[in-house]
Copies of this chain bind each other. A is one copy, B any other.
Amino acid sequence: MQVLKDELRHRILSEAQHLFLQRGYARTSLQMIADKVNISKSNLYHYFKSKEELFYELTDSAAEGLRKLIIRLRDKRFDPATGQREYQVLLTEEVLSLMLAEKYGLLLIMEQSQGTRYEALRASMIDMLAAKIAPLLEDEDNSLLLAQIMAQNLLSGTVQILKNRVRPREVRTNLNRLVEYHTKGMDALLR
């Protein structure tokens, strides 16, 4: 029974994931999920205590990984000029492993979490990254803005790569190229 229950639980999670990814949290109704799984709407409540909980089940561990990554990133020096190698390893390897492990959770958080507790996470991720990048730019009024843009670009580029269904090898390659792209771009703005 436990097996059956678990299996159904996973099917619910799986179908919910698809729908949330396609339509977003708010525009996906429990009825749609129930229909996909071919169970009754009310039965969903035996597995998840609310629509939000169901969403968090799909995203909590990714969110946790994200928070840890954020903390690690905060502590590391981040200097594309001197520590570029380390930075690149950090960004490719650490991010890569999170991405591979939490692909869909990350996508949900980053793109489809409007209406949930994670809707601000993307923004705060960007803010953190921007805070890292800003000091590297010339100290002027708009360095924060440009840092913000770079952070966002980095993030949304990563998400874009994530969306593209490819083998880990290719993900790594693309991620490397993305980082290269951005570091070179950044270099152009730095004297």
Seen from chain A, the residues whose Cβ lies within 8 Å of a Cβ on chain B are 24, 26-27, 114-115, 141-142, 145-146, 148-150, 152-153, 156-157, 160-161, 164, 166, 170, 173-174, 177-178, 180-189
Contacts and interface: CB of A to CB of B under 8 A. Distances in A.
Nearest to A145: B164
A126 to B, nearest CB: 9
A148 B173 contact: no
A182 B187 CA distance: 11
Contacts of A164: 142, 145
Given A181-B189, A184-B188, A149 B160 contact: yes
Nearest to A174: B142
A177 to B, nearest CB: 6
A174 B160 CA distance: 24
B115 A27 contact: yes
Nearest to A144: B164
Contacts of A150: 181
A157 B149 contact: yes
Contacts of A188: 180-181, 183-185
A157 B182 CA distance: 13
Given A153-B156, A181-B185, 5 more contacts: A24-B114, A142-B177, A145-B174, A149-B157, A156-B156
A180 B189 contact: yes
A140 to B, nearest CB: 10
A79 to B, nearest CB: 18
